[in-house]
Amino acid sequence: MRKLLCRALTTVALAAMLAPPAQTWAASGDKYAIVFKNTGNPYGDRQMSGFKAGIEEQGAQAILRAPDQPTAEAQIQILEQLISQKVKAICIVGNDRDALQPVLTKATKKGIKVFSLDSGVNPASRLTHVNQADSEKIGQTLVQAAFDMSGGSGEIAILSATSQATNQNLWIEFMKKELAKPKFANLKLVKVAYGDDLRDKSVSEAEGLLQSFPNLKVIIAPTTVGIAAAGKVLTDKGLGGKVFLTGLGLPSEMATYIENGVCPYMFLWNPIDVGYLGSYTATALVSGKITGKVGEKFKAGKLGDYTITKAPDGGTEVLLGPPFKFDKANIADWKKVY
Partner 1 sequence: MERTIRVDRPWSWRSFFLQWEWLLVLIFLAVHVVNSLLSPYYFNADTFLQTPMSFLDKAFLVLPMTMVIILGNIDISVGSIVALSAVLMAVAYNAGLPMPLAMALCLAVASACGLLNGILMTRFKELSSVIVTLATMIIYRGIAYAILRDQAAGGFPAWYSALGWDSVGGIPIIVIAFAACAVVFALLLHRTSFGRRIYGMGSNLTASRYSGVRTDAILLTVSVLTGLMAGFTALFLTSRMGSTRPNVAQGYELEVIAMVVLGGVSTSGGKGRMAGPLLAVFIIGFLNYGLGLVNIPAQVLLVILGLLLILSVLVLNLRFRDRHPRTPPATEIAGP
Give the binding site for partner 1 (CB under 8 A): 1-2, 5-6, 9-10, 12-14, 16-18, 20, 22, 24-25, 39, 63-69, 71-74, 76-78, 80-81, 84-86, 96, 98-99, 101-102, 106, 162-164, 194
Residue 233 CB, nearest approach to partner 1 (Å): 20
Length of the chain in terms of residues written? 338
Residue 206 CB, nearest approach to partner 1 (Å): 16
Residue 5 CB, nearest approach to partner 1 (Å): 6
Residue 83 CB, nearest approach to partner 1 (Å): 9
d(CA 132, CA 318): 8
* Closer residue to partner 1, CB minimum distance, 77 or 186: 77
* Closer residue to partner 1, CB minimum distance, 145 or 165: 165
- Contacts of residues 180-186 at CB distance under 8 Å and 24 or more positions apart, as own/partner, are 183/147, 184/143, 184/147, 186/152, 186/153, 186/154
CA angle 316, 317, 323 (to 5 degrees): 150
Residue 234 CB, nearest approach to partner 1 (Å): 23
* Closer residue to partner 1, CB minimum distance, 117 or 284: 117
Residue 35 CB, nearest approach to partner 1 (Å): 11
Strand pairing category for 89-92 and 154-160: unpaired
Query: How would you class 336 by CB atoms within 10 Å of its CB: exposed for 0-12, middle for 13-18, buried for 19 or more?
Result: exposed
CA angle 28, 31, 35 (to 5 degrees): 145
Contact 36, 66 (CB under 8 A): yes
* Closer residue to partner 1, CB minimum distance, 84 or 215: 84
C-alpha distance from residue 209 to each of 171, 186, 243, 328 (Å)? 20, 19, 11, 26
* Closer residue to partner 1, CB minimum distance, 114 or 258: 114
- Beta-carbon contacts of 25 under 8 Å, excluding residues fewer than 6 positions away, are 85
* Closer residue to partner 1, CB minimum distance, 4 or 180: 4
* Closer residue to partner 1, CB minimum distance, 63 or 331: 63
Residue 159 CB, nearest approach to partner 1 (Å): 13
d(CA 124, CA 112): 15
